[in-house]
């Protein structure tokens, strides 16, 4: 009588941090990377829900006219998401998100004139709630040309309305924000030649860098030691 086949269960990979947030401009691959890493480390996910913002499509058609309503709608969404993140972290689960809650203020500063930004701030400060800070933020960085190409390739009707000037201003705003960012450890990743969705080697390189990171601010470029 032959012995039953031996079942080998792969050990669960422990996440290197309790709470990781991935950020970057539209088209850079935040949600894709967050999904891959969350699956690898068995983390809960909390993703942005831009489709729930009723003003976003109108904003991309006419940024000046619809910016305030769009940013206030996102500010309200952040209140709910902050509580969701707090509930997940408090439960003891590891969390992966594809946004920072501070991004609402970044977009508001970028898109609103001074008087409307002041109004936004007055309202946002009254509804804003505190939540857990990420243990690591991963900032995915790419040029406007690369982002524009990716946006065109995935061809989402709403995103195809984004202007070149807006995309360039958004990249500048993100670069400036993370240049001064010091709230948590930060890993800046050049995502122009990194494709973790299509390349297991690329994913392994990034995972190794995340797991070995010891400094408070580090920069990762594929093929370059920084």
HSE, CB side, 13 Å, CA atoms: give it for residue 150.
Answer: 18
Token pair for 31: 């949600």
Q: Which domain holds residue 119?
A: 19-220
The CATH number covering residue 58 comes to 3.40.50.300
Run of H or E residues at 140? strand 136-141
Give a yes or no: residue 4 inside a domain: no
- pTM value is 0.89
Number of domains in the chain: 1
- Ramachandran assignment for 219, one of left (phi > 0), alpha (psi -120 to 50 degrees), beta (any other): beta
How does pLDDT run across 2-25, given as a tens digit for each residue?
A: 454 444 334 457 899 999 999 999
Chain centroid to Cα 34, Å, comes to 8
28-84: pLDDT as tens digits: 999 999 999 999 999 999 999 999 999 999 998 898 999 999 999 999 999 999 999
Residue 225 lies in a domain: no
Residue 183 within a domain = yes
Q: Which residue reads 């948590």 in tokens?
A: 184
């Amino acid at each position: 009588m032959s012995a039953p086949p031996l079942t080998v269960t792969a050990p669960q990979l422990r996440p290197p941090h309790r709470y990781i947030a991935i950020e970057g401009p539209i088209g850079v691959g935040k949600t894709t990377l967050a999904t891959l890493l969350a699956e690898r480390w068995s983390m809960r996910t909390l993703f942005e829900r831009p489709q729930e913002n009723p003003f976003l499509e109108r904003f991309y058609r006419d940024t000046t006219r619809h910016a305030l309503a769009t940013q206030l709608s996102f500010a309200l969404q952040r209140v709910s998401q902050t509580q969701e993140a707090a509930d997940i972290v408090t439960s003891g689960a590891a969390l992966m998100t594809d946004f920072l809650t501070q991004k609402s203020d970044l977009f508001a500063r970028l898109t609103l004139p001074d008087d409307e930004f002041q109004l936004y701030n007055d309202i946002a400060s009254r509804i804003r709630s505190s939540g857990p800070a990420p243990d690591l933020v991963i900032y995915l960085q790419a040029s406007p040309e690369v982002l524009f190409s990716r946006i065109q390739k995935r061809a989402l009707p709403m995103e195809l309305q984004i202007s070149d000037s807006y995309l360039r201003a958004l990249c500048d705003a993100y670069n400036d924000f993370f240049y001064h960012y010091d709230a948590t450890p930060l890993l800046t990743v050049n995502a122009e030649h990194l494709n973790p969705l299509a390349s297991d080697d690329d994913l392994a390189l990034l995972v190794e860098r995340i797991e070995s990171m010891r400094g408070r601010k580090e920069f990762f470029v594929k093929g370059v030691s920084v």
